[in-house]
Structure 1
């Protein structure tokens, strides 16, 4: 049976620390740009498939060229996950699923309402419609 050997780690030297600090900064900058773009409700349809936002970001020139593309891909996936978690937390706080259960008695209507909650593009469209109704 093999045992894992843990070696003592030395503190980072200035060069490695600076490089690591730069990578973390580029990652957080890229994620901030992606999250800011995903705030637009019209782009919530890109949240339904994880790789669709990455493809959108590449075609619209949101990817920085001086950084490793795999790192930026991970920032894009992380931004999508952050936005999904935010939307789902808003749904949980509003107790939406319980309200759907009480509001709709027909099983087909409930199924359709739950299906709409599973697609972020449908949530975005209903949000826009609700906002337009409130402005009237």
Structure 2
């Protein structure tokens, strides 16, 4: 049984969270450990590598996009790490992966927020990404 795209996004979020805590860590080792814990499929999905490397390699540009949609008195460094990582994943998919519909990226981000954050964060993430998606279309 293969890993779903949603499960890949969860693994990408968890990998980015681990890399945020330990930037010197090897993403491949994190993928392997996470996949062994959650799946019977030992193969690392290409989509997982694409999401993690895409967010990592485009972080500055992604953060600039996020900053455009924050309230005037907010800055990236004021966001909690969980919300910021969820936003980065969604913005990467919206701006750099045209094969992923914007609505799917938004819905997946809200699902991640539901699983890893709280209702207030989910509403905040929805506001930021909804404005981005509206402007993107």
- Give the TM-score normalised by structure 1: 0.35
Q: Which has the higher contact order (CA 8 A, sep 6+)?
A: 1
